[in-house]
A and B are shown apart, each in its own frame.
Chain A
Amino acid sequence: MEKKFERNTFGKRLGSMLKVDFRRMFTMPLVYIIVAACLVIPVVILIMTTMMDGTVSVDPQTGAETVVEGFDNVWQIIGSVSGGSSESADASGMGAGMSLTSMANINMLYFGIAALVCIFVAEDFRSGYAKNLFTIRAKKSDYVISKTIVCSFGAALMILAFFIGSLLGGAISGLSFEMVGFGVGNLIMSVLAKVILVSVFVPIYLIMSVVAKQKLWLSLVLSFMVGMFLFMMIPMLTPLNATIMNVLLCLAGGVLFGAGLGAISNIVLKKTSLV
């Protein structure tokens, strides 16, 4: 006679997996450190760049003078208005010259998200907890879906913390909050699009992490390398004058990347040794 087992539905499996991952995420000091850093960094950047704005440095050998450019208004640290080519270039880091604003903006967070995902996944394998997880979980997709959701949630917190930090930093440094070429609605759409866009990056970092498993350094290197290629699209997809179309585009990208890369992560976990 065959032994009867309790039916383990997808909902039940995913529910328990999400519970594990959320519990883990919010008991990891690192998450709080990262989110706190996301809150503090824009404050520091805005104050520092405002202080340094217009500072002239002279190259002692050539005598060439370089003027350090700071932010003109708070929203530059969040994004740029599409169609404004120079600003767009600044925000994306292309042809930025000496401008501090070119690198120090919210888009850099997408690299920070790589650190969050890689550390989170590598810890499972380094601690040996992956053995407990995968012994009980025959379906590797539970792990991939749960990790994608939880890491996206953590990444969204980072984006929101950075946004709040930017507002605080702008207020402290006395920068202008004037909105030129966009409105509050566009700003909300832009931030929302950035939050949703993390669901494109998280599956990329997740696949690198499950390939590298306990080798954190490898997952970080791979994530930074691959993330670099997609980094350019962030300012284009999430400009300050974003509309619902940008949000939907990011959502579609997130679903596409989440499903496609999630399936690959699932195959990687199925085909490779988990210990």
Chain B
Amino acid sequence: MNAIEIKNLTKNFGPKQALAGLNMTVPAGAIYGFIGENGSGKSTTEKIICGLIHESGGSVRLFGRDYTDADVRAKIGVLIEAPGCFPNYSVWNNMKLQAANLGMKNAEPEIVKVLKMVRMEGAASNKYKNCSLGMKQRIGIAMALLGNPDLLVLDEPINGLDADGMRIMREVLCDLAQNHGVTIVISSHILGELEKIATHYGIVRGGKMLCEMTADELEASCRTYVALKAKDMNRAKFILGSRYSRVEEDEAGYIRVYDITTPEETVTCLYENGILVSEIKTDKIGLEEYYIDLMKEGRK
């Protein structure tokens, strides 16, 4: 069953078209990495899913029901932009308010549980306005987790988190998806982090879905490459460039040769041309590079 099924979604803000027939399918229990450039329509899509803005056309179904269905909407947790908290209330009171909003009875143990999950139990009495950006993000996640949601929609949830905060967030989200069957839609520009947890990806561009794939499909389509350093880098690059279709120099000063299977082949090629290789390794491009490549191809 699909947690989210979006068909031909359009949204216009006056003359500007934010979504131009977007299609999206999120299987139940998936951690769906929603990726795209600024202004590509990610946040607009998420806001429509959450009922915060209204579509101009198309359909949105959540767990097989229309997204305006009150029963299904009561099971959505959300963190969009910043957590919706009252600055002068304590963290605890903000949580209590959200628990009341969800119609929870005996909410205290549940609040303690979600605050513990995001390692914020010690800050419950702090005023929300006195919390750091990272703490606020964690509180937002805790708030979204209240009421055992079936679907979590998180917009840039790891913004402002330190390395430890990111690790905690990763553990929490993976636990929710794997052990509790929660479906998570997460948009982030920190693709390296997203890559560690996402089971599915959706890449959006210009208000349209460019491609959707599973983590396995991404793995299969990510090209391997050989990265090397040689004594004469310029000549090595020239020789390899004349033999292979794609040769680039990366930021770390390595020459990358794509689409070859063995490093021996590259070393032999350079050796035959009198160039000695000083360092060599094989690797695969990650989500970030795949995404950048895809964006470049899209612009061509």
Contacts and interface: CB of A to CB of B under 8 A. Distances in A.
B80 A127 contact: no
Contacts of A8: 70-71, 74
A211 interface: no
B172 interface: no
A20 B150 contact: no
B182 to A, nearest CB: 12
Given A2-B64, A123-B86, A128-B85, A135 B52 contact: yes
Given A20-B101, A136-B74, A3 B63 contact: yes
B93 to A, nearest CB: 7
B86 A138 contact: no
Contacts of B93: 27
Interface residues of A, number: 36
Nearest to B96: A23
A7 B53 CA distance: 24
Interface stretch (A36-44, A191-199, A241-249, A267-275): A267-275
Given A19-B100, A20-B101, A123-B86, A275 B81 contact: yes
B111 to A, nearest CB: 14
Question: Which of B84, B87, B89, B98 is the most central at the interface, judged by chain A CB atoms within 10 Å of its CB?
Answer: B84
A3 B64 contact: yes
Identify whether the interface residues of B are mostly helix, strand, loop, or mixed: loop
B100 A16 contact: yes
Interface residues of B, number: 42
- Interface of chain A, helix or strand or loop or mixed? helix
A11 to B, nearest CB: 10
Contact of B74 (A2, A5, A134, A270): A5
A61 interface: no
A133 interface: yes
A6 B83 CA distance: 26
Contact of A136 (B53, B63, B73, B80): B73
B218 interface: no
Interface of A: 1-3, 5-8, 12-13, 15-17, 19-20, 23-24, 27, 123, 127-139, 270-271, 273-275
Interface of B: 1, 28, 47, 50-54, 63-65, 67-76, 78, 80-87, 89, 93, 96-98, 100-103, 143, 150, 153
28 contacts: A2-B63, A5-B75, A8-B71, A8-B74, A13-B103, A16-B101, A16-B102, A17-B101, A19-B100, A20-B100, A20-B101, A127-B85, A127-B86, A129-B85, A129-B86, A131-B80, A131-B84, A132-B84, A133-B84, A133-B101, A135-B52, A135-B76, A136-B73, A137-B70, A137-B73, A273-B52, A274-B51, A274-B53
Given A6-B71, A20-B101, A23-B96, 16 more contacts: A2-B64, A6-B74, A8-B70, A13-B70, A24-B97, A128-B84, A129-B97, A134-B51, A135-B78, A137-B73, A138-B51, A138-B68, A270-B54, A271-B54, A274-B52, A275-B52
